[in-house]
Amino acid sequence: MVLETDNRLLMHICCAPCSGALLQRLGDEGFQISGFWFNPNIHPLEEWTRRRGSVADMAASLNLPMRWIDDIRQSEWLERWTPGDAGRCASCYDIRMDEAASMASREGFTLFTTSLLISPYQDHEAVRMAGEQAAQRHGITFLYRDFRPFYREGQNLARTRGWYMQKYCGCILSHAESDHPKKPAYVFTPKGMTPD
Ligand code: SF4
């Protein structure tokens, strides 16, 4: 049970589809939530802009206060892992969690967490570890939960609201590996999903 005075939660938001359901559920539990946008290696810039815009739309529709760090730090991320190993995602999480913990600590939040914990496509344990280590560095508490059972709920909410749904994880490598150029893009209309 979270004390009423200790429930200021900063949620790092990777994208609207991964965060909307969590914001609703945690809000229902009584957390006072602010969102935090910081995703510095989304490639290309057009994609970063699209995801950021979708998060801004979501925040407005949910009356969610936001903190924004709009830095692009692709080179920092690339320098932090050794090509060929599995560390690229770990360094990706570390950069985000360190900034989230720092922001939460500076701005008087009690807790921080991340919407990355909802995705079955992320390395869940690595996200958890990055959050807990960042929490230790900045003297704040990482709210860890396995949010993955709510992934479909979040995707469905995003479809209903018309929030942008990306077709690859985000970085330049995931962009290159995906077959997203071949996938059809869809836009939401009141009548349903239609080809873009
Ligand atoms: S695949 Fe996703 S989690 Fe891994 S480094 Fe790229 S953007 Fe980050």
What's the chain's average pLDDT?
89
Is the entire prediction scored with pTM above 0.85? yes
The residue whose C-alpha atom lies closest to atom 4 belonging to ligand 1 is 89
Q: Kindly state the DSSP code that residue 121 receives in the 8-state scheme.
A: T
Instruction: Find the range with the poorest average confidence among 51-65, 69-83, 132-146.
Output: 69-83
Residue nearest atom 2 in ligand 1 by C-alpha distance? 169
Amino acid 87: pLDDT: 81
Over residues 65-107, the pLDDT tens digits come to: 999 999 999 888 888 776 666 688 999 999 999 999 999 999 9
Confidence at residue 84, expressed as pLDDT on a 0 to 100 scale:
61
Mean pLDDT to the nearest integer, 43-61? 97
Cβ(78) to ligand 1 under 6 A? no
Q: Is the pLDDT of residue 40 over 70?
A: yes
Percent of the chain whose pLDDT exceeds 90: 78
185, pLDDT greater than 50: no
Query: Quick check: bond before 44 cis, omega within 30?
Result: yes
Ligand 1 binding pocket mutation candidate from 48, 75, 88 (most atoms within 8 A of CB): 88
Q: Does the beta carbon of 138 lie inside 6 Å of ligand 1?
A: no
Cα–Cα dist 73/38, whole Å: 10
pLDDT at 182 exceeding the cut of 60: no
Strand partners, 47: none
**pLDDT for 5:** 58
pLDDT tier at 108, thresholds 50, 70, 90: very high
In this predicted structure, what is the pLDDT of residue 30? 96
The answer, yes or no, to whether any atom of ligand 1 lies below 6 A from the CB of 174, is: yes
Task: Determine the pLDDT at residue 189.
Answer: 37
| 127 Cα–ligand 1 center, Å | 11
Asked if residue 187 has pLDDT above 90, the reply is no
Helices vs strands, H then E, count in the chain: 7, 7
Pocket test for ligand 1, best of 48, 171, 175, 177 (most atoms within 8 A of CB): 171
CA distance 139 to 149: 29
User: Which secondary structure element, helix H or strand E, spans residue 190, and what is its range?
Assistant: none
Q: How is the chain split into domains, by residue range?
A: 4-165
Domain 4-165 coded CATH 3.40.50.620: yes
pLDDT at 126 over 90: yes
Cis omega (within 30 of 0) for bond into 17? no
Is the distance from the beta carbon of residue 127 to the nearest atom of ligand 1 less than 6 Å? no
pLDDT of residue 83: 65
The closest of 146, 152, 131 to 21, measured between CA atoms, is 152
Give yes or no for residue 31 having a pLDDT over 60. Answer: yes
